[in-house]
Structure 1
Amino acid sequence: MAYSMHCALPSRSYFEALETAEKRALHSFFDQHVIEDDELGYFALDEGDYNILPVHLAARVVHTVHGGMLDEF
């Protein structure tokens, strides 16, 4: 699931997307990516929404937070 925040300052939207990704990663098996977008600035994307991250999105990943849940049981 992608979460976006519109913000006039690119650095602020980056840190908001990063915060969202970090919070979601704590409760997810999937990696959370911060994606750069020309219109939105930055947004958080849950890798679990895609079988394989599409090339057009993978090319815009600026940071990844690894999922915090383990599937070892």
Structure 2
Amino acid sequence: MQINTLSIAPVVTDTAAYLATYNLAEQRARVSDFDVHVIRNGDGSYWYVDEGDYACELGEFEDRIVHTLCGRMSGLY
């Protein structure tokens, strides 16, 4: 049985990129009043945006949001 490692490698790379971005987004969500979204680009890369960022227009990329983390600062602290 032969395993084609070329078909497996992109999945591992994509997952690693997602998890790295997710971890950064999670850190940001801990100190934000707003939701933080992880967005996937067409080239397979990921980035995150805080809804409270200046001039954040969700309509531009709402179809590419792969995960949303709720902001955890409620103003009670």
TM above 0.5: yes
Greater relative contact order (Cα < 8 A, sep 6+):
1
Q: Which structure has greater helix proportion?
A: 2
Partner of 1:42: 46
**1:60 matched to 2:64:** yes
CA RMSD of aligned residues (A): 2.2
Q: What whole-Å deviation, never above 9, does each CA across 1:6-55 have from its counterpart, x for those lacking one?
A: xx911111001110111000000011100000236111111112566332
Report which stretch shifted further, 9-18 or 35-44: 35-44
* SS of structure 1 residue aligned to 2:33: coil
Q: Which runs of 4+ in 1 moved over 2 A?
A: 50-54
Q: List runs of 5+ in structure 1 lacking aligned partners.
A: 1-7
Report which stretch shifted further, 51-60 or 8-17: 51-60
TM-score of the superposition, structure 2-length normalised?
A: 0.71
Aligned mates of 1:26, 1:34 — CA distance in 2? 15
Report which stretch shifted further, 28-37 or 53-62: 53-62
TM-score of the superposition, structure 1-length normalised?
A: 0.75
Q: Which has the larger radius of gyration?
A: 2
Superposed, 1:20-39 pairs within 5 Å as 20-39=24-43
Q: Which structure has greater strand proportion?
A: 1
